[in-house]
A and B are shown apart, each in its own frame.
Chain A
Amino acid sequence: MEHKELNLLNEALGFHNNNLYGRFVLVEDTVDTTAAFVLHQILKHSFSSHPSSSVIFLALSHPFSHYDRILRKIGCNLAAQRDNKRFFFIDMLMLQFPDEGKPNDVGFAAVFEKIESVIKALPQDNTKFVTIMIDDISFLQVAANGSSNDVLDFLHYCYTLTSEYGCAFIALDHKDIYLNEEKPAIISEMEYLADILVKAEPLATGLAKDVHGQLMVLHKQHGISPVKIHNFHFKIKENSIECFYPGTKI
């Protein structure tokens, strides 16, 4: 049942042809409509994409137990993957710069170095199947005391990993925290950089019982593959998510 319900999302993200490797996927959501489920789905799928695939997860908003619990509900054992050296959980919940007098960029450089060293420690052939996930970017800005430039530098370096190693780079950000700024720098720059854009927004008509939001997945032109846009609605249920085309919810 869960398979059928999430077909639209899987298809939109291009799981069937491992579309995410070598790309940067930006997931944007709002207070009213959370898109964390997209991250969870990508996380689950990354383990089944290739027998030697691995995930490096930069957690800034929730501890390991949170993800373990949620992924178990959708049929994925994170603890086992972690023990099998396929899931690297980098706990950054207490991240704060400047740290002991070090400036921001040194701190971010250290985080990047950590990620790169994990990738290099993998067997040569497996470096092509690494997925790097960040949950979420807004906490990076908090850690940097609001300096968006340092966060953008860090994100640029993570992006270079997609071209250098062919990794998939997935990041979650919240769109509405930037609404009051005159120049929404981080989110706009990320939108330019992203190869695949996933946007979760509330319905234009307001809150509803059966439809919790709308999801838009945009694949920008990448080599010869053309632009593709997917639009559908979703409903968050207890243990899963249901995705359907607008108007087809029974």
Chain B
Amino acid sequence: MAESICRSLRDGALEGELAPTLTIKDSLASPFSFNVFSHILLQLSSQKSQSHGIVIVALSRSPSFYADLLKNKGVELSSSNKWIHILDCYTDPLGWKDKARKSGNVNVVSDQISLATSSYKSVKDMDKLFLAITDLGRGLVGENKVRFCVAIDSLSKLLRHASLQSVAGLLSNLRSHDQISSIFGLLHSDLHEERATAALEYMSSMVASVEPDHHSSENCLSEKNFTQGKFSVRSKRRNGRVRETSEKFKVEAEGISFASISAEDGTTVAGLLPKVQFNLQLSEKEQIDRAKVVLPFEHQGNGKPIQIYDGRRSLEESSGEGAPISRCKNEDSALGEIIYFRDSDDEMPDSDEDPDDDLDI
């Protein structure tokens, strides 16, 4: 649940414990991890939490984008310098513009951003990045036991610039830092090898997956997939238990909204049946009638000898011949008897189960 994730992040870390870490995972079929990221960022900015400051490591969005995001949500930017600081790894991550400036070719362009921003120009160096993040954080909250939160704009971008080991090392160092309250970042699962995604998921205490409603094999680009989908969260509790929950989400102009999956959505399974002009389902009455049908070999006998017609004249022959596959016992009695054990009682009609599955060859 989105609300519970925000709560966990707000509650932060206990003394001597690793900081709760959230990875928001998406794919091209439903690329909304950034919407979720912004939502969580806004929640943490506006509500009381263990952390007294947020450091945003901006790699895929400009600092002015974050300034606009906060401003549009009514967050007071003039006092924001006290609790939010952006590490700008977007504008000049590799120092190219810096070099151009030094060689005298280009003039410096000053950006009027209302949020406190520090540029960072060596995005390939994870150790330096760690120092930069922690320095900024300490600058915000001071040296005491006060904690700050770290938001990483895109773990995918970090993985592109540095090896998996160094990114994992960075995350690990951040988690064990005693002044970091919580960490959250987003990841595009289809840009990396599975092991990279798995490694980062393993290091996170919470993994939120953004998925489309229906996984279609064809071109997944429909307007529906671009406005809504499924939001699944897998969180590891302190006692070691893993909890999985799912919600629906909808992306609107104002932001992203979450709703629990209601019972009607359970009918999505029924929705997978082909839409044809005849009815493939059974109504209540039909189900009752079907249950009432007396199958052959299930005659109660009624005192009369059971007569099975097996296609031959001699109806008085011993029963048992022409009997169907399922278990039937022939008892040694004067009258032949078939005791028919139906084993298909709990099988749904039109089920695809292979009846030979229980053969013990």
Which residues between 198 and 225 of chain B lie within 8 Å of chain A, taking CB atoms? Answer: 219, 221-223
Check if B340 is an interface residue, CB within 8 A of chain A: no
- The reply to whether B193 and A120 form a contact with Cβ atoms under 8 Å apart is no
A-B contact pairs, 9 of them (CB 8 A): A105-B94, A113-B105, A117-B106, A164-B111, A188-B188, A188-B191, A192-B188, A227-B223, A227-B227
Quick check: B251 and A229 within 8 Å, CB to CB?
no
A157 to B99, CA, bound (A): 14
Instruction: Please indicate the chain A residues that have their CB under 8 angstroms from the CB of B106 in the complex.
Output: 113, 116-117, 120
Interface pair A229/B160, CB less than 8 Å apart? no
Is B253 an interface residue, CB under 8 A from the partner? yes
| Residue of A149, A182, A218, A227 with highest tally of chain B CB at under 10 A | A227
Contacts of A149 in B (CB 8 A): 160-161
Query: B76-115 vs A: 1/0 string, CB under 8 Å?
Result: 0000000000000011111011011000011101010000
Residue of B nearest to A150 (CB): B94
Q: Is B190 an interface residue (CB 8 A)?
A: yes
The smallest beta-carbon distance between B186 and chain A, in angstroms, is 11
Contacts of A189 in B (CB 8 A): 156, 160, 188, 191
User: Contact: B226 with A229, CB < 8 Å?
Assistant: yes
Is residue B309 contacting chain A, with contact meaning CB distance below 8 A? no
Question: Quick one: which of A117, A163, A188, A193 contacts B62, CB cutoff 8 A?
Answer: A163
Top 10 closest A-B pairs, CB basis? Answer: A109-B96, A163-B62, A227-B226, A113-B100, A224-B253, A229-B223, A188-B191, A188-B190, A191-B28, A192-B188
Q: A160-B90, A226-B253 are in contact. Are A218 and B96 (CB under 8 A)?
A: no
Residues of A within 8 A of B (CB): 105, 109, 112-113, 116-117, 120, 149, 152-153, 156-157, 160, 163-164, 182-183, 185, 188-189, 191-193, 199, 216, 218, 220-221, 223-229
| Set A183, A220, A229: member contacting B191, Cβ < 8 A | A183
**Alpha-carbon distance between A177 and B251 when the two chains are bound, in angstroms:** 33
Query: Quick one: which of B261-308 are within 8 Å of A by CB?
Result: none
Inside 8 A of B227's CB, which chain A residues have their CB?
A: 226-227
CA distance A220 to B227 in the complex (A): 10
Residues B105 and A117 in contact, CB atoms below 8 Å apart = yes
- CB proximity of A163 to chain B, nearest CB, Å: 4
Collect the chain A residues with CB atoms within 8 Å of residue B91's CB: 160, 164
Q: Flag whether B329 is at the interface (Cβ < 8 A).
A: no
Decide yes or no whether B318 CB sits under 8 A from chain A.
no
Contact between chains at B31 and A192 (CB < 8 Å): yes
Closest to B254 in A: A224
B62 CB to closest chain A CB, in angstroms? 4
Instruction: Please name the residue on chain B nearest to A148 by beta carbon.
Output: B160
- Cross-chain contact A221 with B251 (CB below 8 angstroms): yes
